[in-house]
Amino acid sequence: MNTDSAGAPRRIARYSAAVSTSELRKDIGRLLWVGFEGTELDDRLRDTLSAGDAGGVTLFARNLPKHGDETDVLALRRLNDELHEAGRASGEKLLISVDQEGGRVQRIKAPAKHYPPMLSVAPGSDEEALAAVRALGGTMGAELAQWGFDIDFAPVLDVHTNPANPIIGDRAFGEKPESAAKRALAFADGLQDAGILPCGKHFPGHGDTATDSHLALPRLDHDMGRLGEIELAPFVSGIAANIPMLMTAHVVFAALDATVPATLSKTVITGLLRDELGYEGVVISDDLDMRAIADNYGVGDAAIRAVHAGCDVLLLCRNLAHQEEARGALFEKARGDAAFRKRISGSAARVRRLSSLS
């Protein structure tokens, strides 16, 4: 039998390397949550999910089967069941998510209930108002659970402080950090009452930007005193309430890290969110296909930077080439960097724990 320099059988060494490569592929799959085109599960996506190369799927309006002018919710449930089944073939649980906030960000409209912008729901933060917001979250969550979803990318934890903000505005739950936090977390409780995992967004706060990060890279120049008092306060409350997921903002916060957006900043995600604020849940990037990232960083480089920064999950919601580029970049980086491999393993473990909650 052939042996290596230490006398161990070479075929055993090759087998161990193959196992390691397989485990790495599975772990990277937990980190990549993808979108797709069309209203049916095609062979490409089925193969991706069955192989464990994606840990989650996000549905958009483009993915919703229609019956006339309304969503065909029976067909939607069948689609989600097929997605879950394809994921189970990998031995892992697939998580299906959607942006269902109400107001202008409500992917599933009729026959779903009409939900107003959260800023206008039961104004105030007294006991009666919070009960109404929680009940609304429960109603929305019950619909999503009935249709086969696991996660709602809500609530918005940003504070509505800038009337000219083109992306947040009335999606926020309040104009003051304390009331916004109380109302948003009541809504999150309602989602969880119905069996849907909530995701607070967009850390460390997107409420005062004047630029839409779907189109360009926003920047905030507030000092740490202001950020701590306004932007960060609802997230601190969310962490204390054990919200299971937080989504990052593609925004440069000059007082925290003037060089890169929060999604790609180790100072922001690991230093502030993990170490200083003590968050132990899953951190998910906003979509890396958004122009704030795609126009300024290569997707492969952005994926590596985001994981290095401390993100556990990377959203890649549309571009198939970007999904493959991110997967390949993470694989190659991890194969040559033991510390980065450990980061991926830790994130994959967090995602698996999250899966057990849904």
Cα 42 to Cα 36: distance, rounded to the nearest angstrom? 9
Q: Enumerate residues 6+ apart whose C-beta is below 8 A from 201.
A: 153, 154, 155, 156, 157, 158, 246, 247, 249, 286
Catalytic entry in 150, 158, 286, 287: 286
Q: Which residues of 258-272 are buried (b: 16+ CB within 10 A; e: fewer)?
A: eebbbbbbbbbbbbb
Catalytic entry in 214, 222, 301, 337: 214
Residue that has been written with the tokens 């483009």 in this structure: 62
194 by DSSP, 3-state: which? coil
The answer to whether 69 is a known catalytic residue is no
The answer to whether 308 is a known catalytic residue is no
Residues annotated catalytic, as ranges: 214, 286
